[in-house]
Amino acid sequence: MSETVARRVVVHGSVQGVFFRDTARRRAQSRGVTGWVRNRADGTVEAQFEGAPQAVAAMVAFAHEGPRGARVEHVEVDAVAPEGNAGFEIR
């Protein structure tokens, strides 16, 4: 069984109202990544990605790009303990 890693990201820029959360959910599900994503009141998007190291790295790379229409200015990335999520949800 492969190692599970988790990363918490906070994405700054013009990242709300551009289908960031739905795109993240679809990409995470296709890669077998669990966790969650949500809009924050300050205009950022926060997410936690959990899974195999390469799959989580792909999701962190996505956070730096965002979907079409997003303008990502800065991404904070922190290694965190896995929460043991069963799937990937939009909060």
Catalytic residue numbers? Answer: 21, 39
DSSP 22-61: HHHHHHHHHHT-EEEEEE-TTS-EEEEEEE-HHHHHHHHH
Do 74 and 5 contact (CB within 8 A), yes or no? no
Cβ-Cβ contacts under 8 Å for 30 (sequence gap 6 or more): none
